């Protein structure tokens, strides 16, 4: 339990050991499930809960904070790492009401089987008085589900945005201390779940811009006592700007594709283009997602397996399509033995992308003279693009 101000406490749990989220997303630095207790002069509110695996930590912290009777459980987001302990809280506090929006209510009824009479449904901008403290609910959808909202504690100028601005980071400090570490965790989190909704997140940033915010208290990672630090980072990530960087995501079976990747990388570097190689066989997919947030371009490099792309390259194309980065261009390079439909297959996996598809370089066998010339042409095209974007 950590006190933020008089009658305001962080009562969630740090999960030092968790290494995978949704059985999909790597968590190299663990995470936390932050929950907040607000003790008003007349009513007591709990903002979000914790992953059900940590419910005992929540109850211990509530006791230490002297929570007493809880009147309201505010649910900013229905995903179970925040909502999953609501049922346990309701068992202990049978008179408590769950306060949330209509969409979230429907999800909680479906996911957690909470009965409808347990809810108070609120509208965008509505306020709820706790006596000397006021909670205002601000709908901030698609960070990263459609029902997500933020809660603003008016008198204390604290914004509780749940996943929005959060970082998967287990840290003992209440507020951000190591900015470099937090920004990597926050960028990773943005990249993995929020990047597909970049336009909506821009709208949400616009929506909160006139709020007087002293503290941002997300539901993962440390709190921000300098809110501009994370707001400005989000503005940059959601902008249309890219940086001088091309991601070369590759897999090679017998070395031909690797030779192409090495040649392209060296040629791009000679031309002043920044390159990041990811061997898809053992790459940290979260790290790849982080770099997709602002890279100018992506090259997928693959050999041919059973007439199509290597499954690792298929996975990369699938992720690229799902995450919808603001990448300006995409190219496919690779090698085949006797025939192949790698290019057509990868293109079919990318219906969402608005990136320009550059001329591919698909060669037969091991690369030789003419093949390297084609790679040189691709590198030159990329350099010209980066000059056009004014990033080199």
Burial 76-100 (b: 16+ CB within 10 A, else e): bbbbbbbbbbbbbbbeebeebbbbb
Q: Choose the stretch contacting ligand FEO; rule: CB under 6 A; options: 74-82, 99-107, 324-332, 340-348.
A: 74-82
Query: Binding residue for ligand FEO (CB under 6 A) from 18, 39, 54, 82?
Result: 82
With respect to ligand FEO, which residue has the nearer C-beta, 144 or 188? 144
Considering only residues 320 to 359 of the shown chain, the ones binding ligand FEO according to CB under 6 A are: none
CB of 339 to ligand FEO, least distance (A): 44
Query: Binding residue for ligand FEO (CB under 6 A) from 7, 79, 192, 291?
Result: 79
Alpha helices for the chain (secondary structure H): 55-64, 80-83, 86-92, 102-111, 179-189, 198-208, 227-238, 256-270, 285-292, 311-323, 342-348, 369-388
- Measure the CA–CA gap between 52 and 87, rounded to whole angstroms: 9
Burial 210-226 (b: 16+ CB within 10 A, else e): eeebebbbbbbbbbbee
163 touches ligand FEO by CB under 6 A: yes
Q: Choose the stretch contacting ligand FEO; rule: CB under 6 A; options: 79-87, 124-132, 175-183, 265-273.
A: 79-87
Q: Choose the stretch contacting ligand FEO; rule: CB under 6 A; options: 12-20, 75-83, 89-97, 152-160.
A: 75-83
Dihedral angle, C-alpha 318, 322, 326, 327, nearest 10 °: 0
CB of 22 to ligand FEO, least distance (A): 9
The answer to whether 234 touches 194, Cβ cutoff 8 Å, is: no
With respect to ligand FEO, which residue has the nearer C-beta, 81 or 371? 81
On the CB side of 151, CA atoms within 13 Å amount to: 30
**Nearest-CB residue for ligand FEO:** 79
Could you tell me the two tokens for 356?
């320009």
With respect to ligand FEO, which residue has the nearer C-beta, 36 or 278? 36
- Measure the CA–CA gap between 6 and 370, rounded to whole angstroms: 72
Considering only residues 206 to 245 of the shown chain, the ones binding ligand FEO according to CB under 6 A are: 219-220
CB of 315 to ligand FEO, least distance (A): 22
- Measure the CA–CA gap between 7 and 20, rounded to whole angstroms: 34
Strand partners, 300: 249, 332
The torsion region of residue 334 among left (phi > 0), alpha (psi -120 to 50) and beta comes to left
CB of 78 to ligand FEO, least distance (A): 8
Q: Choose the stretch contacting ligand FEO; rule: CB under 6 A; options: 59-67, 78-86, 247-255, 306-314.
A: 78-86
CA distances from 153 to 29, 130, 240 (A): 29, 10, 32
With respect to ligand FEO, which residue has the nearer C-beta, 21 or 278? 21
CB of 31 to ligand FEO, least distance (A): 8
Task: Indicate the DSSP class of residue 52.
Answer: G
Q: Choose the stretch contacting ligand FEO; rule: CB under 6 A; options: 73-81, 232-240, 261-269, 357-365.
A: 73-81
CB of 163 to ligand FEO, least distance (A): 4
Considering only residues 137 to 156 of the shown chain, the ones binding ligand FEO according to CB under 6 A are: 144
With respect to ligand FEO, which residue has the nearer C-beta, 77 or 133? 77
Residues in the chain: 392
Cα dihedral 97, 100, 106, 109 sign = negative
With respect to ligand FEO, which residue has the nearer C-beta, 39 or 144? 144
Q: Choose the stretch contacting ligand FEO; rule: CB under 6 A; options: 76-84, 236-244, 285-293, 344-352.
A: 76-84
81 touches ligand FEO by CB under 6 A: yes
| Residues near ligand FEO (CB under 6 A) | 77, 79, 81-82, 144, 163, 219-220
């Amino acid at each position: 339990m950590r006190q933020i101000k008089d009658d305001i406490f962080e009562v969630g749990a740090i999960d030092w050991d968790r290494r995978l989220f949704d059985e999909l997303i790597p968590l190299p630095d663990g995470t936390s499930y932050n929950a907040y207790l607000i003790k008003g002069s007349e009513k007591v509110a709990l903002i979000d809960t914790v992953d059900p695996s940590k419910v005992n930590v929540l109850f211990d912290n509530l006791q230490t904070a002297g929570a007493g009777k809880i009147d309201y459980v505010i649910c900013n987001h229905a995903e179970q790492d925040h909502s999953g302990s609501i049922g346990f809280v309701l068992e202990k506090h049978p008179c408590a009401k769950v306060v949330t929006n209509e969409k979230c209510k429907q999800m909680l009824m479906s996911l957690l089987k909470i009965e409808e009479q347990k809810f108070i449904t609120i509208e965008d901008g509505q306020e709820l008085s706790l006596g000397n403290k006021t909670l205002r609910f601000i709908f901030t959808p698609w960070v990263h589900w459609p029902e997500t909202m933020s809660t603003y504690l008016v008198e204390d100028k604290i914004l509780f945005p749940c996943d929005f601005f959060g970082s998967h980071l287990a840290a003992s400090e209440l507020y951000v201390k190591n900015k470099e570490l937090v920004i990597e965790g926050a960028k990773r989190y943005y990249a993995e779940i929020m990047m597909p909704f970049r336009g909506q997140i821009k709208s949400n940033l616009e929506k909160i811009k006139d709020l007087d915010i002293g503290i941002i208290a997300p539901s993962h990672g440390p709190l921000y006592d300098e809110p501009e630090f994370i707001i400005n980072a989000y503005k940059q990530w959601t902008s249309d700007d890219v940086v001088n960087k091309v991601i070369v995501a590759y897999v090679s079976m017998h070395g031909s594709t690797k030779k192409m990747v090495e040649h392209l990388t060296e040629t791009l570097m000679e031309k002043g283009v920044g390159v990041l190689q990811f061997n898809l066989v053992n790459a940290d997919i979260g790290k790849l997602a982080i770099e997709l947030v602002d890279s100018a371009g992506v090259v997928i490099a693959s050999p041919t397996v059973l007439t199509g792309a290597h499954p690792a390259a298929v996975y990369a194309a699938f992720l690229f399509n799902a995450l919808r980065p603001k990448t300006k261009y995409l190219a496919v390079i690779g090698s085949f033995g006797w025939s192949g439909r790698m290019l057509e297959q990868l293109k079919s996996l990318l219906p969402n992308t608005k990136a320009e598809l550059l001329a591919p370089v698909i060669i037969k066998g091991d690369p030789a003279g003419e093949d390297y010339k084609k790679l040189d042409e691709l590198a030159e095209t990329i350099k010209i693009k980066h000059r056009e974007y004014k990033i080199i």
